[in-house]
Amino acid sequence: MLEGALVRLRPVEEKDLGLLEQWGRSREGLWGSYQRFQLDHLPMLVSAFRENGLLSRDFAILLIEDVSDESVVGFVRYTLLRFPDADLPYPEIGYGVPDDANRGRGVATEATRLLVEYLFAGYPCERIAAFADVENVPSRRVLEKLGFEHEGTLRRATFRDGAWRDLAVYSLLRNRKEGSQP
């Protein structure tokens, strides 16, 4: 378990599958309004949970618990990207806080910081990547608060709501973590 002042990150447990299912019933819940709504994601998550608990070296989903009352308020995840060099994968991260009542409190920022610290401590990587819809200002703000730099934009990279959307590409280099000097 990883713990900060506001949140702790923990693995998904059997008892959490109902919450994931509840989040998965709406577009806002599981992936948020800036993602495509795909009904097949939930069965895939449950299947992956049965296989490895959504926790492996190459991919993981961790739940965000509020330390004050132990309620689950969101999730963070990572996937090792094998591009451009399959021999040297690096983590790509994501996060979500489905309920509006839990947003704007710094929960996503602290949870993402904990995940980044874990990944740099446990993986021999020089970078961590993240993608955000260019219109998703709150997500981009989380990344920028943590020192992620905007590397560029993948134009028309994802299809959502009947239109092609641009994705902002961000990265954080090991020597540029929050508070470090260039």
Domain assignment present for residue 154? The answer is yes
Q: Which residue has the tokens 């902002």?
A: 168
Q: What is the CATH number of the domain that holds 47?
A: 3.40.630.30
Check residues 144 and 24 and name the one with the higher pLDDT.
144
Judged against a pLDDT cut of 80, whether residue 33 lies above it is answered with no
Domain assignment present for residue 113? The answer is yes
At 27, is the pLDDT very low, low, confident or very high (cuts 50, 70, 90)? low
Domain assignment present for residue 104? The answer is yes
Domain assignment present for residue 182? The answer is no
At 22, is the pLDDT very low, low, confident or very high (cuts 50, 70, 90)? confident
Domain assignment present for residue 150? The answer is yes
pTM for this prediction: 0.90
Please report the pLDDT score of residue 181 as a whole number: 45
Domain assignment present for residue 15? The answer is yes
**How many domains is the chain partitioned into structurally?**
1
The span from the CA of 110 to the CA of 8, in Å, is: 9
pLDDT tens track for 126-140: 999 999 999 999 999
Containing structural domain, residue 58: 2-176
Cβ neighbours of residue 154 under 8 Å, at least 6 residues apart? Answer: 131, 166, 167, 169
Tallying the residues shown for the chain, one arrives at 182
pLDDT tens track for 41-55: 778 888 999 999 999
Domain assignment present for residue 133? The answer is yes
Strand, coil or helix: 153 = strand
